[in-house]
């Protein structure tokens, strides 16, 4: 597999409205040939699906309710997610999970929404893509309680410690590595050398968390090679090995028939 995969990018958002075609051309030029797009809530579905339909197989849609959008009316949002899952095939159920960074008000509802969506993942035999900002230990524990041995997916935007990474891997999940790996005080320099490549996938979380030297600016999937280069440097291996293995890991998860 001589190309990269971005396993997590919100490129359907308004931040890309002015130059989306150019942005996708830059991805192609940098060898990023597949981009997986997590849903947020009902407002993101139409733009995401339109981009998927126009991308000729480059951009692949997920379906789910992001924890930051779990409010009092979350059951109405979940009804739409369930309706879409019954209509067509998606790459994964995501982005789902928990978040204690922005708002702790709906913590119980977040856990309920996560549990329901994990049940749908089982029903439709789909992987899940997990958000866990400021709630990684709680989310690992909850995922473990819900795991049936077949549940699989990605803990996206990983910025935890080695012990947390090992717990995630023990659950059978992949660790999503993005721009944080390039940050001076990101902490992943102490973690990545001790995690085998077979447990890693690459992501940008575009338009957020751009890697160095673009930190603070809009992120985009064309920056995946910068993340790969940092992983290669920390593990003292060739970037081609990072590319090959992380791409194979992503395909095995999202598109096992492609293998």
**pLDDT, tens digit, for every residue of 80-129?**
999 999 999 999 999 999 999 988 899 999 999 999 999 999 999 999 99
Supply the range of the domain harboring residue 150. Answer: 4-258
Domain total of the chain = 1
Domain containing residue 20: CATH number? 3.20.20.140
Compute the CA torsion angle 244, 156, 137, 85 (nearest 10 deg).
-120
Rounded to 5 degrees, what are φ and ψ at 122? -65, -45
The residues pairing with 132 across neighbouring beta strands, listed in sequence order, are: 98
Note the pLDDT tens digit of each residue in 145-164. 999 889 999 999 999 999 99
What pLDDT score does 247 carry? 98
Pull the structure tokens for residue 50.
């339109």
Note the pLDDT tens digit of each residue in 33-46. 999 999 999 999 99
Pull the structure tokens for residue 56.
């000729």
Q: What is the mean pLDDT of residues 189-200?
A: 98
What pLDDT score does 103 carry? 83
What's the pTM value of the predicted model, to 2 decimals?
0.97
What pLDDT score does 212 carry? 98
Q: How many CB atoms lie within 10 A of CB 185?
A: 6
């Amino acid at each position: 597999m001589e190309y990269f995969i971005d396993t997590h990018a919100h490129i359907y958002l308004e931040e890309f409205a002015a130059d989306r075609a150019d942005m996708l051309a830059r991805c192609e030029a940098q060898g990023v040939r597949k981009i997986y797009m997590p849903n947020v809530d009902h407002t993101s579905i139409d733009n995401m699906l339109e981009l998927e339909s126009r991308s000729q197989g480059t951009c692949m849609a997920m379906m789910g309710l992001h924890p930051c959008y779990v409010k009092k009316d979350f059951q109405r949002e979940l009804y739409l997610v369930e309706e879409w899952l019954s209509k067509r095939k998606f790459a994964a159920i995501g982005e789902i999970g928990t978040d204690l960074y922005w708002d702790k008000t709906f913590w119980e509802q977040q856990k309920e929404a996560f549990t329901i969506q994990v049940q749908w993942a089982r029903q439709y035999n789909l992987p899940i893509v997990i958000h866990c900002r400021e709630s990684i230990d709680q989310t690992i524990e909850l995922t473990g309680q819900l795991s049936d041995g077949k549940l699989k997916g990605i803990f996206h935007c990983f910025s935890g410690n080695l012990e947390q990474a090992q717990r995630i891997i023990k659950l059978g999940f992949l660790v999503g590595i993005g721009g944080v790996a390039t940050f001076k005080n990101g902490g992943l320099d102490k973690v990545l050398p001790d995690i085998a490549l077979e447990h890693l996938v690459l992501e940008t979380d575009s338009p957020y968390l751009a890697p160095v030297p673009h930190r603070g600016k809009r992120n985009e999937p064309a920056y995946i090679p910068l993340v790969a280069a940092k992983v290669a440097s920390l593990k003292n291996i060739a970037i081609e090995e990072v590319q090959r293995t992380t791409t194979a890991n992503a395909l095995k998860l999202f598109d096992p028939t492609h293998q």
